[in-house]
Amino acid sequence: MNIERRYGNEAAERQLGFCQCVRAGNLVFISGAVSWDENFEPLHKGDMAAQIDQIYQNLSGALKQFDLTFDDVVKETGFTTDMDSTLGALAARAKYYASGLLPAATWVEVSRLANPDLLLEIELIACTNK
């Protein structure tokens, strides 16, 4: 099986010990995305809807590296520090799955993410025939 790795910010990802996207066969695994900038500074502190939108923008860019869209996502896993706030802000997610092709999904509440100002982290698995 051919494995292909693509980095968003290679130096930083190597420093932290991960790769943003790994394609193995027809599956693409996208590491958990959060709402932070290239210097790992959190964006949209305290604003769940804005963090959700930022995360999905980041995930969209990761999918595009393999010519994929959210229609190709087969599994989504979300980790949140506040489930009630996340559920209340999921309208920000809906536009990314506007076609109605929804993935299998799991959402889990956790006590903390990599930075205390991060409210949510989302990882994806997509499938491609390309």
- CATH code assigned at 111: 3.30.1330.40
Q: What's residue 110's pLDDT?
A: 98
pLDDT confidence of residue 97: 95
Q: Which of 99, 24, 106, 20 is nearest to 64 (CA)?
A: 20
Q: What is the pLDDT of residue 3?
A: 93
Domain that holds residue 20: 3-127
Distances (CA, A) of 37 to 41, 43, 58: 5, 7, 10
Parallel, antiparallel or unpaired: strands 27-33 and 21-24: antiparallel
Structure tokens given for 112: 């903390």
Which residues in the chain land under pLDDT 70? Answer: 130
pTM for the model:
0.92
Total tally of structural domains belonging to the chain: 1
Q: What angle do CA 86, 125, 61 make, to 5 degrees?
A: 75
Structural tokens at position 83: 């489930």
- In contact, 73 and 63? CB cutoff 8 Å: yes
pLDDT of residue 130: 64
CB 78 within 8 A of CB 86: yes
Task: Quote the DSSP letter at residue 45.
Answer: T
